[in-house]
Amino acid sequence: MKAASRFRTLAGAALASSALLGAPALAAEKASFNEAAAKATFKRNDCGKCHAPDRDKKGPALQNIAKEMRGKPDAEDKVIKNLTTNPKVKLLDSGKEEEHKAIDTKDTKEIKNLVAWILSQ
């Protein structure tokens, strides 16, 4: 076997191994929130009035929020801030600005659970 061919074989094996080793970490990350509890918080706070999982409404789709935040080290903090501090947001349907409604809980665990669910979309 030529050196270049051996290298491609080894590189392919290494890549496959890293993908397999990363899979449990991704599964653990997805399992690190309670989906039913997050959906209940989302529903109780009428978040669905402006946000849908897969399409823009008055606000961006949850998938678009997750995509925009993906890979950012401060993603969780930014989403928490948006959910708890009533920032001004621009509505997608009208372009008007309004205050984003803060969620009705101060429970850090509940907030982080909702954020993890949003970022998993």
3-class state of residue 87 by DSSP? coil
Residue 79 has pLDDT above 60, yes or no: yes
pTM above 0.85, yes or no: no
pLDDT interval class at 2 (50, 70, 90):
low
Mean pLDDT of 37-58: 98
**Can you tell me which residue has the tokens 């993890």?**
116
3-class state of residue 97 by DSSP? strand
Report DSSP state, residue 49. Answer: G
pLDDT interval class at 29 (50, 70, 90):
very low
Question: Given the DSSP bridges, would you call strands 88-90 and 97-99 parallel, antiparallel or unpaired?
Answer: antiparallel
**Sign of the dihedral defined by the CA atoms of residues 56, 69, 40, 44, in that order:** negative
